Amino acid sequence: MKILTVYFSRKGNNYCNGRVCFLERGNTDIASEAVQRAAGGDRFEIVPDKTYPSNYYACTVEAQAELRLSRKVPVKAYKDDLETYDLVFIGYPNWWGTFPMAVRTFLAHYDWTGKTVAPFCTNEGSGLGRSERDLTKVCAGARLLPGLAIHGAEVQDKEAAIAAWARRCVNETEEP
Ligand SMILES: Cc1cc2nc3c(=O)[nH]c(=O)nc-3n(C[C@H](O)[C@H](O)[C@H](O)COP(=O)(O)O)c2cc1C
């Protein structure tokens, strides 16, 4: 079975436990590495082909406008051979209740028929939000496994929980 972890993550100024903080590495980036360590396979970063404001609040305003206007945020690159993978973990931060628009652009590029998809979402309180429902649309035809919500500020302490979930997803895909 071929396994891939794709993820979007924005390092720098963010929100942690009720105040603005600076992340040397993005929370979802850290979580995605834990997923890959437990599940094996490859990892691919979804990078938007634009620069978001480094200021946290300015970034939230821009991201909200993109979502409201259903803007297609271009990505720097696609993973050519994504169609060859059986299980795809999809990691993203919760932005206004769902995944960032660049993740939507990336996912909409592929035919998901017959694949298994397992979402994980770092957040500051909104959990997975409505992202799982949104994934059923953009990854139409995929089998969607129950997602994992991770409190972003605690991601460093969540390795065991992330690993357990990732292994469950692998087992589920092998023996549905
Ligand atoms: C543009 C933007 C919007 C956000 N919206 C939400 C939200 O609606 N709910 C929430 O719980 N956290 C929200 N957050 C916080 C992030 O989901 C959280 O800090 C996440 O762990 C960041 O992951 P990253 O470092 O991988 O980008 C938002 C952060 C940003 C930058």
Percent of all residues in the chain with a pLDDT value above 90, rounded to a whole number: 99
Give the global pTM. 0.98
Domain positions in the chain are 3-174
Is the CB–ligand 1 distance for residue 36 below 6 Å? no
User: Is 28 touching ligand 1 by the criterion CB < 6 Å?
Assistant: yes
Q: Residue 176 — very low, low, confident or very high, per pLDDT cuts 50/70/90?
A: low
86-124 residue pLDDT tens:
999 999 999 999 999 999 999 999 999 999 999 999 999
98 Cβ below 6 A of ligand 1: no
Give the C-alpha separation, 34 to 21, whole Å: 22
Tens of pLDDT, residues 39-56? 999 999 999 999 999 999
Q: Do β-strands 3-7 and 143-144 pair in parallel, antiparallel, or remain unpaired?
A: unpaired
Helix (H, G, I), strand (E, B) or coil at 7: strand
Overall CATH class of domain 3-174 = alpha beta
Q: How far, in Å, CA of 41 to CA of 80, rounded?
A: 16
